[in-house]
Structure 1
């Protein structure tokens, strides 16, 4: 019997804002519906990392959390980079995604180094945007969620995980790319890494992105995943209805 899929959740006591902790539970549930054994491992401040991780999940947090979280990332840097070298998959939301980048600068000007897995540098203190949004993911599939953010981000050569409808984000400064037509890009899409600012949690409302992560694990592990079960189909149907509800509200606002 193969070992359980180890999903490691980093600093859940700090990085759990706006339902972002639930992304790990969504991945765990969808694997269990395929009868794949899983192990959810929480690593809190002051604790040691496990020896390995198949999937690493980081949620979002309030702006002040970076003052506690960043030093823990610095202490864990060697182990987290070991996870990357082992082929781990990464999912980061909001501040958790920013900590996977180059640096996070607070509104007071304090600079904290990130893990360096993405080219993004974040600066807290931009114009706050808090509203439902919709758009498409990097594969052109419908996406929706809740965006609560006041961070400015910059970095070159970024492929955004999500492109957001312009009408919903005219006041948002946290995008990671922008097209000539003014379409804003959210987050980062890289091989083995998915970063976004959308809450909800993101993967419950947009299970196709969750499956991208799980199919990437299956490919790496050499464990083919079967067709969706009836439980997958029901969850996906409900997610579609929830996304459509957001789109309808945006269209009537």
Structure 2
């Protein structure tokens, strides 16, 4: 049965040309598609300059970039500082991955001793790891296990609250992974993370729907996608010697 569309959601993909090294800008498409499967209209708006910003923003996705583009990415993000601060203060669900997350923090300390100022919107700071982390990562969240792939040269300190406890991988470098502040999520998980962990996508969608007074029913399409994601996560879990979900 096809559900009748209802007034929808606007998902902003911030700087998707610059911050999409690991395909993380696709997290915006995951959010929009899961909303559509539930009969809610949803659009993804690629935002490259402040002039591209839509009148209404319900969810925001920021991907990861390369270290060679760190200054360029930081300077491209700077014009969005005020609006991003408003999103965070207003409870708009925001997902930032990798360097997109790091650049929203107090700053980055690179292996060569260089320090790069961040936007200072998120508590904490990214600091160089002894070795680059490139492996599967498993995280025990509040009530869900998240699995993805990490590819980063820096850990993270000073997060108000982590996404979860590390089961396998490097994460922040202190036994935990990610940063949570209100409806903001920062993470090292690629995959894209919302495709591999649809429970996390549904949490973000639930927050956005509640804010707009929308009801998001489950759908057969989402169930099928969830089964595929679960099988992919279980392959990683078994390979790492962990129990399957």
Instruction: Specify whether residues 238 and 221 from structure 1 end up closer, same or farther in structure 2 by C-alpha distance, changes over 3 A only.
Output: same
Aligned length: 238
What do you get for the CA RMSD once the two structures are aligned? 2.2
Deviation at 1:4, TM superposition (A): 3.2
Rounded Cα–Cα distance in structure 1 between residues aligned with 2:69 and 2:109: 12
Between 114-123 and 139-148, report the one with greater CA deviation.
114-123
- Partner residue in 2 for 1:185: 176
Report if the CA contact (8 A) 1:20-1:199 is conserved. yes
- Partner residue in 2 for 1:145: 148
The one of 9, 13, 20 equivalent to 1:16 is 20
Unpaired stretches in structure 2, ≥5 consecutive residues: none
Unpaired stretches in structure 1, ≥5 consecutive residues: 179-183
Rounded Cα–Cα distance in structure 2 between residues aligned with 1:33 and 1:19: 22
Give the 4+ runs in structure 1 shifted more than 6 A: none
1:121-167 deviation digits (Å, cap 9, x = unpaired): 11346420111122322x221221111111032115x21113221xx
- Partner residue in 1 for 2:137: 133
Q: Does 1:56 align with 2:46?
A: no
Deviation at 1:2, TM superposition (A): 6.6
Q: Does 1:76 align with 2:80?
A: yes
Q: Does 1:99 align with 2:103?
A: yes
- Partner residue in 1 for 2:233: 243
Instruction: Specify whether residues 70 and 47 from structure 1 end up closer, same or farther in structure 2 by C-alpha distance, changes over 3 A only.
Output: farther
Instruction: Specify whether residues 136 and 55 from structure 1 end up closer, same or farther in structure 2 by C-alpha distance, changes over 3 A only.
Output: same
- Partner residue in 2 for 1:210: 201
Instruction: Specify whether residues 237 and 38 from structure 1 end up closer, same or farther in structure 2 by C-alpha distance, changes over 3 A only.
Output: same
